[in-house]
Amino acid sequence: MELLKQRIREAGIARTEEILDVSTFFNAQVDATLMQAIGQDFADYFANHEFDAFVTVESSGIAPSVFASLAAQKPLVIIKKSQKVLDDPRYIQQESFSFTKGNAYHLTTHLDFIQGKRIILIDDFLAQGSVVTNVETLLNKADATLVATGICISKDYQPGFKKLSAAGKDVYCQVHVTGLNPETNAIHIK
């Protein structure tokens, strides 16, 4: 997706060899024009997929997925990160761990919103692939199916994209970053 590539080249910062800082336009300040274009690109890409709803995981996935939902005219369900196990049959949960942030949480959603549905997951970054795997497990608990995944930025130097592709998962990434150099701020994009 050319516009996202351009913004990453202009304003992305290689904080470390692994972390790409996109906070000036993506997840601290949000460029709504960019998000609208990202959402339209997802809607176009998934136009021939049969699905009932998008899901995303709070918080940085929300902006792109709201615009995807608007452009594709499909509902959007936001999966929350809860710190505790809820003793309430209206909710389903799946334990998850962020390798990037080093925190554990429970992906949590309302059963009624997803039960039996065909779902496309939208998320901002793909690193280890744990969110995708754990969202699929969560959906399966509600007899829902993960049809495909749309990612804004895949960090291909981390294992997520390779792992999911090898497992035969349908994953569309708008931008593939292949490497970062924090000393020169080089951001290598495929």
Contacts with ligand G4P by CB under 6 A lie at 19-22, 27, 57, 59-60, 98-101, 124-131, 155, 160
* In the complex, minimum distance from the CB of residue 89 to ligand G4P, in angstroms, rounded to a whole number: 26
Q: Are 71 and 43 in contact (CB under 8 A)?
A: yes
Which residues lie below 8 Å from residue 87, measured CB to CB, with a gap of 6+? Answer: none
Q: Taking Cα atoms as reference points, which of 55, 57, 58, 34 lies closest to residue 46?
A: 55
Taking the least distance from each CB to ligand G4P, the nearer of 71 and 153 is: 153
Report strand pairing: 103-110 vs 118-126: unpaired
* In the complex, minimum distance from the CB of residue 181 to ligand G4P, in angstroms, rounded to a whole number: 14
* In the complex, minimum distance from the CB of residue 10 to ligand G4P, in angstroms, rounded to a whole number: 16
Q: Taking Cα atoms as reference points, which of 70, 79, 71, 74 lies closest to residue 53?
A: 74
* In the complex, minimum distance from the CB of residue 182 to ligand G4P, in angstroms, rounded to a whole number: 12
What amino acid occupies position 105?
A: Y
Taking the least distance from each CB to ligand G4P, the nearer of 28 and 112 is: 28
What does the alpha-carbon distance between residue 55 and residue 46 come to, in Å, rounded to a whole number?
14
Q: Are 82 and 103 in contact (CB under 8 A)?
A: no
Taking the least distance from each CB to ligand G4P, the nearer of 22 and 34 is: 22
Taking the least distance from each CB to ligand G4P, the nearer of 100 and 185 is: 100
Taking the least distance from each CB to ligand G4P, the nearer of 57 and 144 is: 57
Q: Are 29 and 23 in contact (CB under 8 A)?
A: yes
* In the complex, minimum distance from the CB of residue 88 to ligand G4P, in angstroms, rounded to a whole number: 23
